[in-house]
Amino acid sequence: MEQQDRIMDGDLQTLGLQSILKMLALSDKTGKLLVYSGPETLSVNLRQGKIISVREEGIVQADILKMLCLLGKLHPEQVKIVYELAQRDPHLALSMLVERGWMGRGEMQQRLEFAVTQSIAHALRWVNGRFAFHRDLSTLEGAMKPLDVDSVLLESLRQADEWEEIAAEGITYLTRTTVARWKPEVTRDVRALGLSHDEVLVLCLSNGEIPLQSAAQALMMPEARVVRLLARLLELNLIEVVDTTMETELQGDLSTIIIKCQHTLAQQRQSSTPEQHLLGLIITLSDCTNGLLIHHGKFARILRGRGHVSNAEIMRYLAHRFAQPLQLLSQQRYPILETATFVDGQLNCNDIRTLNKVVRGEQLEEFYWEAVQGLAAFLRMVFDQVVRDEVGNSHTGRQLNVAWKIFLSEIDQEVQHYQSYRAYRSAQSTRGRDVTMQSPPIGILPQQDMQARNNVTEQEGVSSWSQDKQGRYM
């Protein structure tokens, strides 16, 4: 704002927020009060000494529509309509809910008042920082009726005192930025736990995305009260506190693995024979599996918070967790996987990769094909278990699953190309042709055989190739 419009500034240690607001109210000031403390900024707009709006910077802005949907107060279709029209402006969103009869005007006023009180209560606890008041005669009226400063301060001071009580009780591990989510292993019927109505509401908002201060705003419940409810749910082992820093690192690590696997897959697409292509898929699948195992050795839930964990212990954990599923796959569906072993916490597929030294021709191709199917099944199993253990059914988990499905679709596409080739070769064999000796070079499909190949593809239920891929193996 323009320097000449500043009519007052100073240090919060000299003049606290409470005194500043009272002074501005008594003198019927109109303008904007900015209060700074570290990365956070509180902006209070006043008109003739009354508060007309407040905004906090440096925090996650509450998505009130999503939270009302989680609480069952709005239908997803209603949320979608308002999202499109309000452009995620919370005040405009509330006004639109009122216009459509989906919220009463009284409730909107209550929510706006609570947000003001909540923000000022937080800023009242700032010890270090600065403030500045700027004259701004253009300040516009908002959706909220102007609030008396004394009334707002009275409620804000009460909420600030509740935070002091929380600190005195030793509940310092929960802050207004705390994000909570259901534990992935929770299977109990919460209705049998005797939870209070407020505990159920807080549990509904514990989805791994919503910080405590946003949940308090949605429930119009003092933050300190929400802290106590979260502490109770933690005691019942229903939720966990999300380590957002670790989760960001976790998400970045898994995303890097997926990108590397996509790059490896792209390199293997240059193969000129079916055997080379299948071997390329085997390399991609095994490398991706090992990338996930290395990742899980860093982020597995059982290994967190224990300080330094020896490599030997990590390797024992990985082998214990994943060796048995691999063994079951080999016994039940894919015997070729019996040659794969766990060595130093990694999947060793060297015997499969070097099969071409002892096996040739169609038998090699069949072994490779079985290995591709088995490793693909094992890779899916590993990823599912890794994500379920590390982040559960959370926002991060859903994002990772989307990226994972994109990568798997690329694997599936390569598998479908090979299946089409097998269908084509089978058709030629039934016509009495020696495919091994007479099939055309890779990448060339004779026009007279095109219709026969398409007919077999339809009969076998195999997806047809795209124009640029259909000749890869023929």
Flag whether pLDDT at 388 surpasses 90: no
Looking at the fold, whether 193 and 148 belong to one and the same domain comes out as no
**Whole-angstrom distance, CA of residue 157 vs CA of residue 126:** 12
Flag whether pLDDT at 465 surpasses 50: no
Give the E-state strand segments of 174-252 in sequence order.
179-182, 207-211, 239-241
**Total number of domains constituting the chain:** 3
Flag whether pLDDT at 464 surpasses 50: no
Q: What is the per-residue pLDDT across 126-175, written as a single tens digit (0 to 9) for each?
A: 989 999 999 876 655 667 899 999 999 999 999 999 999 998 988 888 99
Looking at the fold, whether 19 and 54 belong to one and the same domain comes out as yes
Flag whether pLDDT at 459 surpasses 60: no
Question: What's the pLDDT score for residue 160?
Answer: 94
Question: What's the pLDDT score for residue 455?
Answer: 43
The secondary structure of 310-360 as a DSSP string is -HHHHHHHHHHHHHHHHHHHHHHT-GGGGG-EEETTEEE-HHHHTGGGT--
Q: What is the largest CA-CA distance in the chain?
A: 101
Looking at the fold, whether 432 and 296 belong to one and the same domain comes out as yes
466 — pLDDT class (breaks 50, 70, 90):
very low
C-alpha R_g of the chain:
31
Question: What's the pLDDT score for residue 450?
Answer: 37
Looking at the domain assignment, is residue 76 inside a domain? yes
Question: What's the pLDDT score for residue 186?
Answer: 63
Looking at the domain assignment, is residue 466 inside a domain? no
Looking at the fold, whether 160 and 183 belong to one and the same domain comes out as no
Domain termination residue (choose one: 197, 221, 241): 241
The answer to whether the beta carbons of residues 386 and 296 sit under 8 Å apart is yes
Query: Any idea which of 139-148, 208-217, 262-271, 447-456 has the lowest mean pLDDT?
Result: 447-456
Looking at the fold, whether 123 and 228 belong to one and the same domain comes out as no
Q: Which residues pair with 36 in a beta bridge?
A: 41, 130
Flag whether pLDDT at 264 surpasses 90: no
309 — pLDDT class (breaks 50, 70, 90):
confident
Average pLDDT of the chain to the nearest whole number: 84
Where is pLDDT greater, at 253 or 143? 253
Q: Which residues pair with 40 in a beta bridge?
A: 37
Looking at the fold, whether 141 and 186 belong to one and the same domain comes out as no
The secondary structure of 12-28 as a DSSP string is TTTS-HHHHHHHHHHTT
Flag whether pLDDT at 8 surpasses 90: no
**Whole-angstrom distance, CA of residue 442 vs CA of residue 244:** 50
Question: What's the pLDDT score for residue 436?
Answer: 45
**Whole-angstrom distance, CA of residue 369 vs CA of residue 223:** 58
Query: Computed from CA positions of residues 395, 399, 404, 410, in that sequence, does the dihedral angle turn out positive or negative?
Result: positive
Query: Any idea which of 100-109, 124-133, 179-188, 262-271 has the lowest mean pLDDT?
Result: 179-188
Share of the chain above pLDDT 70, in %: 86
Question: What's the pLDDT score for residue 438?
Answer: 45
Question: What's the pLDDT score for residue 85?
Answer: 85
**Whole-angstrom distance, CA of residue 135 vs CA of residue 146:** 18
Domain termination residue (choose one: 141, 168, 195): 168
Question: What's the pLDDT score for residue 34?
Answer: 95
Looking at the domain assignment, is residue 364 inside a domain? yes
Looking at the fold, whether 214 and 353 belong to one and the same domain comes out as no
Looking at the fold, whether 132 and 20 belong to one and the same domain comes out as yes
Flag whether pLDDT at 3 surpasses 70: no
Looking at the fold, whether 407 and 455 belong to one and the same domain comes out as yes
pTM: 0.68
Average pLDDT over residues 437-441: 42
Looking at the fold, whether 235 and 252 belong to one and the same domain comes out as no
Give the SS3 label for residue 89: coil
Question: What's the pLDDT score for residue 188?
Answer: 61
Q: What is the per-residue pLDDT across 187-225, written as a single tens digit (0 to 9) for each?
A: 666 667 788 999 999 998 998 889 999 999 999 999 999
Q: What amino acid occupies position 392? A: G
Looking at the domain assignment, is residue 474 inside a domain? no
Question: What's the pLDDT score for residue 285?
Answer: 94
**Whole-angstrom distance, CA of residue 70 vs CA of residue 219:** 11
Average pLDDT over residues 259-270: 84
Q: Residue 20: which domain range?
A: 3-168
Looking at the domain assignment, is residue 472 inside a domain? no
Average pLDDT over residues 104-132: 94
Share of the chain above pLDDT 90, in %: 51
Cβ neighbours for 163, distance < 8 A, ≥ 6 positions apart: 121, 125, 223, 224
Q: Which residues pair with 182 in a beta bridge?
A: 239
Looking at the fold, whether 159 and 204 belong to one and the same domain comes out as no
Highest mean pLDDT among 80-94, 222-236, 438-452: 222-236
Domain termination residue (choose one: 136, 168, 200): 168
Q: What is the per-residue pLDDT across 46-62, written as a single tens digit (0 to 9) for each?
A: 999 999 999 998 888 88
Looking at the fold, whether 331 and 188 belong to one and the same domain comes out as no
Question: What's the pLDDT score for residue 461?
Answer: 36
**Whole-angstrom distance, CA of residue 138 vs CA of residue 146:** 16
Flag whether pLDDT at 273 surpasses 60: yes
Average pLDDT over residues 281-286: 93
Alpha-carbon torsion, ordered 82, 88, 94, 97, to 10 deg: 0
